[in-house]
Chains A and B, each alone.
Chain A
Amino acid sequence: MARVLMFGALQELAGWREREIDAASLDALRALLTAEDAALGDRLAGPGVFAVINKDLVRGDPPLSADDEVAFVPPVSGG
C-alpha cells in the first residue's frame, strides 16, 4: 500500500490529507481516485498538478511499490 498525500486545495477537495492505497502504478492510482471521486480526478489531471514520489517530482506512469510515498501537489505560491 503506497502512502498517498494531498496538499493545498487538493486536500480540501479530497477531504483527506493522507491515505494508504494499493495501486500498481501512478496512472492506476489516478484511475482509482477518479473512480471514487470524479471531481478530484478531474483536478488531478488538470493543469499545474504534479505528482511527487518519494520527494522527487515525476512524470509519466512510474510503477508504485508498497513503501512509496506519493504526493499530489497543486500550483504553488511561495514567498
Chain B
Amino acid sequence: MVRLEAEAIDPGVLLADFCRGREDVGAVVSFTGLTRGQTDGAAVSRLSLDAYAGYTDKVMADLETETRARFDVLDVLVAHRWGDLTVGEPIVFVAVAAEHRRAAFEAADFLMDQLKTRAPFWKKETGPDGERWIEARPQDHADAARWTTGDTE
C-alpha cells in the first residue's frame, strides 16, 4: 500500500500497525527517512515537498508492484510526506514484510532506491542562504543502478 501524506507521520505507530496480527511473516524491515539539517554543507531550516496528487501516488504504486514482482515479500507499505516539513521530521517510511529476512532487507533497499530516483516529488530547501531546488544526487542514481547492473544479484 502507498500513502501520500499531507500531515506528520509517526514511524513508530506505522510500524506497530504494520506488524500487528501477522502469523505468516517472519521478518519486517522498516526504513525511516528524516529531513536533514544540512545538505552538502549548506544549512537547511525547512523543506517543502511538491507532489502531483493522482500521479505521484500512481508512480509509487507502480514501484510497489515492481518490488512485489522482484522479491518474495508478503506486504509493503510506503508512507511519503508532502507539503512543508521541519528539520528532523520523518519524510518517508517504508516497511516490508516477508517470510524470511533477506528478501525483506533487499526489497526495502530496492524500494527506497527507486523512490529516491523515480517518485515524482520536488524538494525545495530553505536555509540562511535562501531557497534551492534539490534533485536526486549522482549517488542516488548509482544506488538505483545497482539493481540493473547485476552487481548485487
Which residues of A pack against B, CB within 8 Å? 5, 7-9, 11-12, 48, 52, 55, 71, 73-79
A62 to B32, CA, bound (A): 40
Give B49 Cβ to nearest chain A Cβ, in Å. 9
Contact B50 A78, beta carbon cutoff 8 Å: no
Report, nearest first, the 5 A-B pairs whose CB atoms are least far apart. Answer: A8-B122, A78-B119, A79-B116, A78-B115, A9-B133
Within 8 A of A (CB), among B101-118: 112, 115-118
Q: Give the chain A neighbours of B130 by CB distance below 8 A.
A: none
Contact in complex: A11, B116 (CB < 8 Å): no
Q: A8-B124, A76-B135 are in contact. List 6 more A-B contacts (CB 8 A).
A: A9-B133, A78-B92, A78-B121, A79-B92, A79-B112, A79-B115
B113 (CB) vs chain A CBs: closest residue: A79
Within 8 A of A (CB), among B73-123: 80, 91-92, 112, 115-123
- Please report the C-alpha to C-alpha distance between residue A74 and residue B50 in the assembled complex, in whole angstroms: 11
Q: In the complex, are the beta carbons of B136 and A76 less than 8 A apart? A: yes
Which chain B residues border A79 with CB–CB below 8 Å? 33, 80, 91-92, 112, 115-116, 119
B147 beta carbon closer than 8 Å to chain A: no
Contact A55 B120 (CB under 8 A): no
Q: Which of A8, A9, A77 has the most CB of B within 10 A?
A: A77
Q: How far, in whole Å, are A55 and B91 apart by their CA atoms in the complex?
A: 24
User: Which segment, of B7-15, B16-24, B51-59, B64-72, faces chain A?
Assistant: B51-59
B interface residue numbers (CB < 8 A to A): 33, 50, 52, 54-55, 58, 80, 91-92, 112, 115-124, 133-136, 140
Q: How far is the CA of A12 from the CA of B116 in the complex (A)?
A: 22
| Interchain CA distance A75-B123 in the complex, whole Å | 10
Chain A residues closer than 8 Å to B33, beta-carbon distance = 79
Contacts of B140 in A (CB 8 A): 77
**Counting chain B CB atoms within 10 Å of each CB, which of A8, A12, A78 scores highest?**
A78
Complex CA distance for A79 and B136, rounded to whole angstroms? 9
Q: Which residues of B contact A77 (CB under 8 A)?
A: 116, 121-123, 134-136, 140
